[in-house]
């Protein structure tokens, strides 16, 4: 018999190397580009608005007018590379980190009740470490979404019965949310409840089983609100009544006035009047009011459009992925970021009472920005799995090529 010779470069080892290298440089999906670009644009937009919103009060107090934006910029420079680094993490690593991440996030949140804890505005939801103030509940949001997704993944064949849906998701979730409520932070607790409900919804549980957690969440929020006469007074305040201008409605009224002053085109970047000591927290919870005053309706529509594009990219991941863990975790993260944006903007325009919820990517606060960018990195890691799955499906459905008959390689007898 004659030996069949292979042309140079056709060895199996070389083929495997080329395939591996090709996968490494596979073009990213449109969902990846949409989420990454909107996250970067919103972060950059937020840095500009933080600089504008905080410069006036900084000068008035004798500080550097760029100090607030520089602090925010440091967290952005840390968070953006971290976002792209996390986007390279494999799914098995993210699943393996679900339990440790939840334990670590709850442990950090419990530190607010130690001497490291810092109280601000009646809420005890911050800690001071090495001269840096951070808000642990921001990391708890991501940890809770990943943990619920991992638990429901393990129970995906048993989600038709109520006790497999509720245990341990509801007790552990209630414990995590309770650590935030103990610090009197109702706004963050509401966002955590939305994350829990969003994860249950995207897990595909039956509607009758989903309604019960919704009712329990609403009852818990109402019970907490009704437990304090001061809290109920602020929630039920009618800010159309100017008699409450100097008390419960001062911030809300000035936020609406700032939006109204901007009109369609705004007063111009840096020309806000409300930021000169009239509007409390202009760089934090009410930064959207400064956007409306300085950039007008057009600037507000740009922000809303960016959040819309972000939502579209995230929902495409939820729709296209075949992995239940990705679907549930991406759903929880999307509900967190988009739901929190809706709550913040609703407060600024007067639809909701003031609840201290920052605008994702844009509000001043290094911990909040870092947590959101890390969550975007997780979404980008999920988005990387989509083109690979689609290409495999296309390859599997394509008929195998037939080799044309040739005389080369024929065995001589």
Instruction: Measure the CA–CA gap between 360 and 336, rounded to whole angstroms.
Output: 9
Place of tokens 């009410």: 286
When comparing pLDDT for 81 and 157, which is higher? Answer: 81
Mean pLDDT of 364-381: 95
pLDDT band at 391 (very low <50, low <70, confident <90, very high): very low
pLDDT band at 277 (very low <50, low <70, confident <90, very high): confident
Cis peptide, bond prior to residue 272, ω within 30 of zero: no
pLDDT band at 394 (very low <50, low <70, confident <90, very high): very low
Mean pLDDT of 85-105: 95
Q: Count other Cβ atoms within 10 Å, centred on residue 348.
A: 26
Give which of 120, 124, 172 is closest to 146, Cα–Cα.
172
Return phi, psi of residue 161, to 5°. Answer: -110, 145
* Strand order through the sheet with 123-129: 117-120, 123-129, 132-134
| Spatial contact of 73 and 104, defined as CB atoms under 8 Å apart | no
How confident is the model over 304-360, as pLDDT tens digits? 999 999 999 999 999 999 999 999 999 999 999 999 999 999 999 888 888 888 999
* Least-confidence region, from 26-35, 168-177, 194-203: 26-35
Instruction: Measure the CA–CA gap between 313 and 38, rounded to whole angstroms.
Output: 10
Alpha-carbon dihedral 15, 19, 22, 24, rounded to 10 degrees: -130
| Spatial contact of 151 and 168, defined as CB atoms under 8 Å apart | yes
SS3 126: strand
How confident is the model over 106-140, as pLDDT tens digits? 999 999 999 888 887 778 888 988 778 889 999 99
Give which of 167, 252, 183, 170 is closest to 219, Cα–Cα.
170
> Can you list the alpha helix ranges (DSSP code H) found in 155-185?
162-166, 169-181
pLDDT of residue 40 exceeding 60, the answer is yes
Give which of 135, 137, 142, 149 is closest to 325, Cα–Cα.
149
When comparing pLDDT for 183 and 383, which is higher? Answer: 383
When comparing pLDDT for 341 and 164, which is higher? Answer: 341
Give which of 202, 169, 197, 191 is closest to 98, Cα–Cα.
169
Give which of 262, 289, 254, 274 is closest to 363, Cα–Cα.
289
pLDDT score of 413: 43
Instruction: Measure the CA–CA gap between 171 and 147, rounded to whole angstroms.
Output: 13
Q: Count other Cβ atoms within 10 Å, centred on residue 244.
A: 17
10 Å CB burial of residue 94 (0-12, 13-18, 19+) is buried
Instruction: Measure the CA–CA gap between 372 and 310, rounded to whole angstroms.
Output: 12
Task: Enumerate residues 6+ apart whose C-beta is below 8 A from 323.
Answer: 91, 385
> What is the C-alpha end-to-end distance of the chain, expressed in Å?
6
| Spatial contact of 353 and 234, defined as CB atoms under 8 Å apart | yes
Domain ranges (residues) in the chain: 29-392
């Amino acid at each position: 018999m004659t030996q069949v010779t292979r042309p140079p470069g056709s060895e199996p080892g070389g083929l495997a190397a080329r395939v591996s290298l090709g996968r490494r440089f596979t073009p990213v999906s449109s969902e990846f580009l949409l989420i990454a670009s909107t996250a970067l644009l919103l972060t950059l937009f937020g840095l500009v608005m933080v600089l504008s919103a905080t410069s006036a009060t900084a000068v008035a107090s004798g500080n550097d007018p760029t100090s607030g934006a520089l602090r925010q910029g440091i967290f952005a420079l840390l968070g953006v590379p971290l976002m792209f680094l996390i986007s390279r993490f494999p799914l098995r690593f993210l699943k393996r980190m679900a339990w440790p991440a939840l334990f670590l996030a709850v442990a950090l949140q419990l530190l607010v009740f130690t001497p490291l804890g810092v109280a601000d505005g009646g809420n005890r939801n911050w800690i001071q470490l090495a001269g840096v103030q951070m808000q642990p509940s921001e990391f708890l949001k991501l940890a809770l979404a990943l943990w619920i997704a991992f638990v429901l993944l393990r129970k995906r064949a048993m989600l038709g019965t109520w006790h497999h849906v509720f245990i341990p998701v509801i007790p552990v979730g209630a414990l995590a949310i309770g650590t935030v409520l103990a610090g009197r932070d109702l706004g963050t607790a509401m966002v955590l409840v939305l994350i829990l409900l969003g994860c249950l919804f995207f897990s595909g549980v039956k509607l009758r089983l989903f309604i019960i957690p919704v009712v329990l969440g609403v009852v818990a929020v109402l019970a907490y609100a009704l437990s304090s006469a001061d809290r109920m007074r602020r929630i039920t305040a009618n800010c159309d009544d100017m008699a409450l201008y100097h008390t419960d409605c001062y911030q809300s009224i000035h936020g609406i006035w700032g939006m109204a002053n901007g009109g369609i085109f705004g007063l111009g970047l840096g020309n806000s009047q409300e930021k000169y000591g009239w509007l409390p927290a202009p760089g934090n919870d009410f930064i959207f009011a400064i956007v409306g005053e300085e950039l007008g309706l057009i600037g507000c529509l740009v922000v809303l459009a960016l959040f819309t594009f972000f939502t579209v990219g995230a929902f495409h991941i939820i729709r296209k992925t075949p992995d239940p863990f990705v679907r549930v975790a991406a759903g929880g993260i999307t509900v967190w970021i988009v739901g929190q944006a809706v709550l913040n903007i609703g407060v600024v325009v007067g639809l909701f009472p003031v609840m201290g919820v920052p605008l994702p990517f844009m509000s001043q606060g290094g911990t909040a920005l870092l947590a959101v960018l890390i969550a975007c990195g997780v979404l980008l890691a999920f988005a990387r799995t989509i083109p690979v799955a689609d290409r495999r499906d296309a390859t599997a459905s394509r008929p195998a090529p037939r080799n044309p008959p040739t005389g080369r390689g024929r065995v001589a007898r």
